[in-house]
Amino acid sequence: MLKLIIGIIHIVAAVTMVGLVLLHSGKGGGVSDMFGGSASSTAAGSTVAEKNLNRITVVAATTFAFTTVSLGLLLA
């Protein structure tokens, strides 16, 4: 039962990580510039929304790392 719960949390954390990383603005010269990201990235600085997005991403990454280690120990 514990493996199932941690597995579900792991999958949710993984999908959340993908979504959050895709929401981040590009640092220049990449895929984000292809879709018009260059115009908004020059005008936008380090806003509150970006800082909160960074914090949420760190929480999701920490959760993902914790569940990865937990599943590794449980399945070993």
Tens digit of pLDDT for each residue in 38-60?
555 555 556 888 888 899 999 99
Residue 8 pLDDT > 90: yes
Which pLDDT score is estimated for 2? 93
Which pLDDT score is estimated for 13? 96
> Which of 19, 21, 11 lies closest to 71 in space, CA to CA?
11
CA distances to 5, 40, 66 from 26, rounded to whole Å, are 34, 10, 27
> Which of 26, 30, 29 lies closest to 41 in space, CA to CA?
26
Residue 15 pLDDT > 90: yes
Average pLDDT (7-24) is 94
Amino acid at 69: V
